[in-house]
Amino acid sequence: MGKPFVFRLEKVLEYRQQLEEQARLALAQAQARHDSQQQIIVDISTRLAAHNERGFGSHATQSDIWLWTQYREALEKDLVSARAELERLASILQTCRQEAVLRSREKKLLEKLKDRQAKKHHVQENQREQKEFDEMATIRHKSQDR
């Protein structure tokens, strides 16, 4: 049997695999933060809708109305800031997604190169072995003729 295939860029491939795994982890974390922020927006929206539906009641004093209005305004401000944070997290998520795709492509390029080189090596080893077999057969044939 011939010599085994050795991919000279194996360390680079391992490094790119690590980078891809880190990018996937960052993407998962960004997705979790984004999903969490979406849930916060849903919670705030639900509280605001319930607060508006309840109203301040028919026997509300001026201070009750003021408190009701202040709470509604606070919820609206929270909702605006939560939506802004969601947009920021969506941008980060998109960046992480692009990074993960890039890292995956880089790794796949090296994997394809490794596969091509391994196939080429296998073909060359088979040809070398076949050549040796042919030479041995020729030598045996010549020795039988004598």
User: Is residue 5 a contact partner of residue 117, using CB atoms and an 8 Å limit?
Assistant: yes
CA distances from 67 to 2, 3, 50, 53 (A): 85, 83, 15, 15
Distance CA 50, CA 126 (A): 76
pLDDT of residue 145: 67
Is 33 contained in some domain?
yes
pLDDT of residue 135: 87
Closest CA to 77 of 43, 110, 115, 48: 48
Is 54 contained in some domain?
yes
Record the pTM: 0.78
- Burial environment of residue 31 by CB neighbours within 10 A (0 to 12, 13 to 18, 19 or more): middle
Is 34 contained in some domain?
yes
Is 79 contained in some domain?
yes
**pLDDT, averaged across the chain:** 93
pLDDT of residue 7: 93
Is 93 contained in some domain?
yes
Is 105 contained in some domain?
yes
pLDDT over threshold 90, residue 3: no
Is 78 contained in some domain?
yes
Instruction: Give the highest mean pLDDT range of 45-59, 94-108, 121-135.
Output: 94-108
Range of the domain at 85: 10-111
pLDDT over threshold 80, residue 57: no
Is 126 contained in some domain?
no
User: How many domains are contained in the chain?
Assistant: 1
pLDDT of residue 1: 59
Average pLDDT over residues 22-30: 98
